[in-house]
Structure 1
Amino acid sequence: MAHPAVAVLERHLTLYKRLWRASLFSSFVLPVLFLASIGLGVGGYVGQVQGVPYVVWIVPGVLASTAFQMAVGECTYSVFGEFRWNRGAHAMYATRVSVWDMIGGWLLYIVFRVEIAVVVFLAVVGVFGALASPWAVLTPLVAALLAVAVAAPVTAFSATIDHDSYFALLFRFVMIPSTLFAGVFFPVEQLPGLVRPLAYVSPLWHGVELCRAATAGASPPWPVWAHAGYLLVFAALGVWWAGYAFRRRLQD
């Protein structure tokens, strides 16, 4: 018999089989179109950034932001609905599935979704010659780490709130600012010194810099272990919070 966490993963994959067509555009087509319009179109006017063509420079940013936005988006209404709408989490908890099995299976599902999008994106940009380093093969690992670091706390947040209107605040004040000011479109060093530390706090910035080091062969601002360590700590704290939130919500 499959491990309970694997059974939870299978459940989410079974549901995704019915809904995968709805995610094609946002997960695969939109990032490529965005790269073509900004990386190639705007890049023709920008020229080079930090010694590399703008399209090469922006590829890791778009890749990391895709993983970031997928992790945030998938862990909002889907998780909230499991507790408030269809009570699927309560049904699972009534079996031998534990809280940690639910969280583990869910995070595995998020990583699965992100990895498919990242691999397809890498294949497309590789055809266009936008990968400047063989270390680009490591970007799926970075994307997986970033996805868990983001998905775990957002999952906990979604299990904590009592109304889905809070998601508008999450999107407006966390996801959008992080995407705009975490080094995806321009170097963080161009931000005012007072605002710059806010970018460093975002896990997206660390994911972007690790992806950029892999795809462009550039040295990240911090040591690789520091960027990866920050994401690991963020993920661990998020998983702990998710466990606490799930246990409290399952008592309802």
Structure 2
Amino acid sequence: MSADSLATPLGGSLNWIAVWRRNYLAWKKAALASLLGHLAEPLIYLFGLGAGLGVMVGHVDGVSYTAFLAAGMVATSAMTAATFETIYAAFGRMEGQGTWEAMLYTQLRLGDIVLGEMAWAATKAALAGVGIATVAAVLGYTQWLSLIYVLPVVALTGLAFASLGMVVTALAPSYDYFIFYQTLVITPILFLSGAVFPVDQLPFVFQTVARFLPLAHAIELIRPIMLGHPVVEVCFHVSALSFYIVIPFFVSTALLRRRLLR
């Protein structure tokens, strides 16, 4: 592994596809189990909270609570799938399996690997998110046509959380540290972003915090699409998600370069 492979951000504009393809070929051997794993938790939330709280809550913003929750779970499944792919699978390929080291002996550069890992995590996020949206469509909580418009937003959400996850991967000394990220960051994001209940029902301080959370921006795009409502401030929400993609990408690449040069 040469210093140039770490120093040069990207070896080529499409080199990341080789990393994506490698991960896809490894994943497809256990694709069904992987998909079920990513769908399980959001579906438990959807049916558990939807059936339980839905009876007590009734309607939220003019729709049934289950329909309101389903849109939140689409975004949540994308967040969860992308996060777990980067903080566990990507970390394993970097630290334990030596996959990254082998890649860096080729024409690939560190930036290619990071971008490829992010793209693969976004792919899994898109599969998980569309899976939940499909269940919602089957149950009549959204229109089938909405899945076409939801897919790009889900992929963008996956990229945002994959980029954030790569920063955590770059900083974590071992797998044990990921539990702190899950408990102290991902779980609060879930409950503060409007996935389970409306943000405007939160105290003002938490409403302010929610405006800066990537999941909140994803939900503000996905929920109106799935419920057939007008989507407002599209450029603002897309720009916010893009910010969470671009800035953490460069931060994680710099941190990983420093880590691998030790």
Residue aligning to 2:177: 166
CA deviation map 1:113-138 (0-9, x unaligned): 12222222222211211015944421
Output the amino acid matched with 1:151. Answer: A
Which residue, 93, 102, 117 being the options, matches 1:82?
93
Residue aligning to 1:51: 62
C-alpha separation between the residues in 1 aligned to 2:109 and 2:144? 42
- Verify: 1:122 aligned to 2:130, yes or no: no
C-alpha separation between the residues in 1 aligned to 2:134 and 2:180? 34
Which residue, 206, 209, 213 being the options, matches 1:202?
213
C-alpha separation between the residues in 2 aligned to 1:100 and 1:124? 36
Residue aligning to 2:38: 27
Output the amino acid matched with 2:244. Answer: F
Residue aligning to 1:42: 53
CA-CA distance at 1:41 after TM superposition? 3.6
CA RMSD, aligned part only?
A: 1.9
Q: Percent identity?
A: 27
CA-CA distance at 1:174 after TM superposition? 0.3
Output the amino acid matched with 2:257. Answer: R
C-alpha separation between the residues in 2 aligned to 1:17 and 1:223? 38
The farther-off stretch of 146-155 and 18-27 is 18-27
- Verify: 1:67 aligned to 2:92, yes or no: no
- Verify: 1:227 aligned to 2:237, yes or no: yes
Unaligned ranges ≥5, structure 2: 1-13
The change in CA–CA distance for 1:100 and 1:171 in structure 2 (over 3 A counts) is same
Output the amino acid matched with 2:258. Answer: R
CA-CA distance at 1:170 after TM superposition? 0.4
Residue aligning to 1:92: 103
Which residue, 215, 234, 241 being the options, matches 2:251?
241
CA-CA distance at 1:201 after TM superposition? 1.5
SS at match of 2:204: coil
SS at match of 2:189: helix
CA-CA distance at 1:48 after TM superposition? 0.7
CA deviation map 1:179-238 (0-9, x unaligned): 112101111111111222222221011111110121113345x61111111001111101
CA deviation map 1:20-59 (0-9, x unaligned): 3442432234433432222234212211101111112111
Unaligned ranges ≥5, structure 1: none
Matches within 5 A, 1:133-144: 134-144=145-155
Contact 2:134 2:144 in 1 (8 A): no
Count how many residue pairs are aligned between Structure 1 and Structure 2. 249
